Amino acid sequence: MHDDRNLVEARLKRVLDERIRPAVHPESVPLDVAVWHAPGEPVPVAEGLAATPEPIAVGARWGAPWGTSWFRVTGTVPQAWAGRTVEALLDLGFDENMPGFQCEGLVYRPDGTPVKGLNPRNQWVRIGAPVEGGEEVRLHVEAASNPVILDYHPFVPTRLGDKETAGSEPQYTLTRMDLAVFDEEVWQLALDLEVLGELMAELPVDAQRRWDLLRAVERALDAVDLQDVNGTAARARAELTDVLAAPAVPSAHRISAVGHAHIDSAWLWPLRETVRKVARTTANMTALIEDEPEFVFAMSQAQQWAWVKEHRPEVWARVKKAVAEGRFVPAGGMWVESDTNMPGSEAMARQFVHGKRFFLDEFGVENDEAWLPDTFGFAAGLPQIIKAAGSKYLLTQKISWSQTNRFPHHTFRWEGIDGTRIFTHFPPVDTYNCSMKGSELAHAERNFKDKGVARHSLAPTGWGDGGGGTTREMVAKAARLKNLEGSPTVVWEPPHAFFAKAEAEYPEPPVWVGELYLELHRATLTSQAQTKQGNRRSEHLLREAELWAATAAVRTGFPYPYEELDRIWKTVLLHQFHDILPGSSIAWVHREARATYARVAAELTGIIESAQRSLAGEGQVPLVFNAAPHTRSGVPAGGAGTPAAEGRATREDRAGGGHVLSNGHLRVEIDARGLVVSVYDVDADREALAPGRAAGLLQLHPDFPNMWDAWDVDRFYRNTVTDLTDAETVEAGEDGQSVRVTRSFGSSKVTQVLSLAPGERRLLIDTEVDWHETEKFLKLAFPLDVHAERYASETQFGHFHRPTHTNTSWEAAKFEACNHRFLHLEEPGWGAAIVNDSTYGHDVTRTVRADGGTTTTVRVSLLRAPRFPDPETDQGVHRFRHALVPGAGIGDAVREGWRINLPERRLTGAGEVAPLVTADRDAVVITAVKLADDGSGDVVVRFHEAHGGRTRATLTAGFPLGGVTVTDLLERPLTDVPAPAVDGDRIAVRLRPFELVTLRLRRG
């Protein structure tokens, strides 16, 4: 037989596109349309419904950027349509290739009841099935004219990303507003042919099944009268019955389809628009659940559920009903799908605390899985946090985006820094927006790396990013694929059902140890510096507020601000979403984030000051409050007292120009260029810096990645570098222990203050940059005379080692990585730390010098200047604080990292304030002291081993102790963990490396 595949396949495409799909709605009549444009921000539903609209015609332009327009559509169902199914087709000007990325709408009945959402792949509203004829139709559409930011030519700078700069030009053209007959038989035929055509294209050319499908499709096309598609659709479908009934082979890959709509809590739209995106999607999904008995939908991000509850109570009632039926599934157990690289220890824990508690309180649902399909890599400290929250699974898809190396597993156990292992799945479908295409399912089966030992995978199914969710077409295709020869099998089920099956099938999968590094989007560790600073500052202010408020509550009866802290934590957690904290959102998002962080700081500072004043009492004794987890200057951790004297520091002129700072521990030389050319460790009798190299050096690179401007930095940025060595001024500070340096470059100016305080083993570098560059990358370099094959960077509840070499492609790909408060590297007997108060991105490289020594250079990433999606990214004044700590062990790095982020607070009072809880080993770091969330008055203390070794320690309660309970992160007792030994107010603990513990202390 001649090979006529191309002929039949081309015929199928044309007949589907030009005859069959148009015949799904064979008859239509226009609706009358009127519109009211809300004058500012979105208005309440009642106001939108009550407004007086003006007539508008199809073909008219509408919708200023970020505007809201209320359309009223009215009409009458023709009597001739009696007994038929009728739908309203409402096309606001959609581009079907941009679901979630442009205009959207939520349809209401006149009484304000929401019906469903409208988006480019979901434009219909069912009127009746069947209708009687003569029905009056009246619908209202709350339409958002969100501008297209990421267009067909992506990454083009645009002012549309902020309402303040977007202008008023209408964005869309009203395209169709009709009543139409819906012919379900033709719709089913279209889906039959789609499924078989897509499956056919994925099968081997020499496979019998492919040719069976080809001939069946050909017969069906022959059976269709192109002048009477509606009258011959049933005849055409009959030709496909046998091939659609052929069952899958027993060894077929098994796909668990989960209805899904990944909704970015902010990205190319502001937070307020996400509130409405979630309402549209949940309205759609609850309607689909009512129509499709096998369909199951999962939604993560407790914040988004809370928005529905607060802003759309009618939709919330439908959601609660569907949850009770097990059809609408809370997933993930986190407040938002956060970044996991940059959030601090407590913040990462609280993502689960607040997320899981919301689902427990509202629905009694305990989440077993962390659901993070789109997060940009996963920190090595995350597994034990998942476990400590009472969960045991992780799902993500994003690692498939890695540029260099292909991850070797799809199902595996992920081991974190403390040894905790989490059963993890990467869906081999390689998308969180699966639409049940044959190519997607075939890719999942071919791509699955665990063949022979497992055959289950998961497919998040539905339009996402900007929402929309699963469509009726996806559900119909899944029904055909449930048990179809040549295809993986498909069944709708919730995430927990998939994980239970996958783990039972594959109880001993391979193990991956350490971080799950995404070889892409590395620049998200630096973009939007003020958003990152706001996050870091908020995390530490929350620590202080909880610590001092709890201490004051126990000691003085200070009213503990439960509600305020709960609300502020949720605000901070929201802003850790994986497009806000990483700096990859539009200008509007980051403008609002800066204002939000300022309000958070003011409110938390007020709580801290009130609690400290209550603790200090009346008096004139000078007090320093130490919120860090280590004693400093004689003031105990978590207490207040008078600091001890620390000796003296001096400044002298340097021969040949410049200055010398000395304090008996360190001797620092700053040359006439304002560069640090020597940091001599007097105690160790060795130089910290590599010969002939300068520290505190600012380096400027061009930064124009191939794509994803705010997200990416590509390796070639290093090919060109400018050392900023020219100084305008290098002058001694008035305090006698600092040097001030100013420089100008391009359109920018930088001021650095280098200081060495009495008694300290750290050189402080305060950097202020008035930044007005574009497409540039600014680094701060520390070339150290250290031979080290690896270095440590802080992550949640510990630290993680990365190699300094690039032996393999996996190591070479990590040319930009994340740390929290410190980086540490050492050779036996001596080490050094770089600590910071607000930066995350860095790189570490090594070279061997002519003298045989090794130079290991740590460079901190300060600022970038991408132009998409925010064309003004990071323009303006920024302040950073870093410190070089020579002679530092890992414990010194931990201590100095906390210290630089928790400055002392001074006031006068009656006398010393004893800590509420103390630990007698520096390796035991207390990350939280607070009152229990249930209002019982119990004190909750969370701590971990921070040095990477085993330790024994004694915790001492500064109040009568009535009992001790080991709990999970949600402060629930752990019945399988023995309580520690208690002797009076002393608690004996033993910790494994990086072990995390939460104790609940009952007050006696």
The rounded Cα 545 to chain-centroid distance in angstroms is 25
Helix axes of 184-202 and 472-480: crossing angle, nearest 10 degrees: 60
Which residue reads 């081991």 in tokens?
415
CA distance 86 to 873: 49
CA distance 194 to 481: 12
Contact 146, 42 (CB under 8 A): no
Q: Which amino acid is at 82?
A: A
In eight-state DSSP terms, residue 466 is: B
Q: Which amino acid is at 404?
A: T
Helix then strand count (H, E) for the chain reads 19, 53
Phi-psi region at 668: left, alpha or beta (left = phi > 0; alpha = psi -120 to 50): beta
Radius of gyration over alpha carbons of the chain, in Å?
31
The strand order across the sheet containing 981-983 reads 917-919, 951-957, 986-991, 981-983
Half-sphere exposure of 764 (CA within 13 A, CB side): 20
Q: How far apart are the first and last CA of the chain?
A: 90
CA distance 120 to 130: 26
| Cα torsion angle, 203, 209, 214, 220, sign | negative
Nearest residue to 188 (alpha-carbon basis) of 603, 514, 472, 526? 472
DSSP string, 607-620: HHHHHHHHHH-SS-
What are the E-state strand segments in 57-103? 61-62, 67-76, 85-91
Cα angle at 956 between 950 and 961, to 5 degrees? 125
Please, is 879 exposed, middle or buried when counting C-beta atoms within 10 Å of its C-beta (0-12, 13-18, 19+)?
middle
Nearest residue to 584 (alpha-carbon basis) of 371, 266, 153? 266
CA distance 601 to 595: 10
Let me know if 374 is a catalytic residue.
yes
What are the E-state strand segments in 205-261? 254-259
The answer for residues whose C-beta is within 8 angstroms of residue 52's C-beta and 6 or more apart is 36
DSSP string, 320-353: HHHHHTTSEEE-S-SSS-B-SSSS-HHHHHHHHH
CA distance 319 to 718: 51
Q: Which amino acid is at 195?
A: V
CA distance 546 to 565: 8
Which of these is catalytic: 374, 714, 938, 968? Answer: 374
The answer for residues whose C-beta is within 8 angstroms of residue 521's C-beta and 6 or more apart is 376, 377, 401, 582, 584, 708, 711, 712
CA distance 126 to 363: 30
CA distance 437 to 460: 13
Half-sphere exposure of 908 (CA within 13 A, CB side): 4
Both tokens of residue 609? 């000051």
| H helix intervals, 292-437 | 302-311, 313-324, 345-363, 382-388
Q: Phi then psi for 856, rounded to 5 degrees?
A: -110, 115
State the greatest distance between any 2 C-alpha atoms of the chain, in Å, as a whole number. Answer: 102
Q: Among all residues, which ones are annotated catalytic?
A: 374
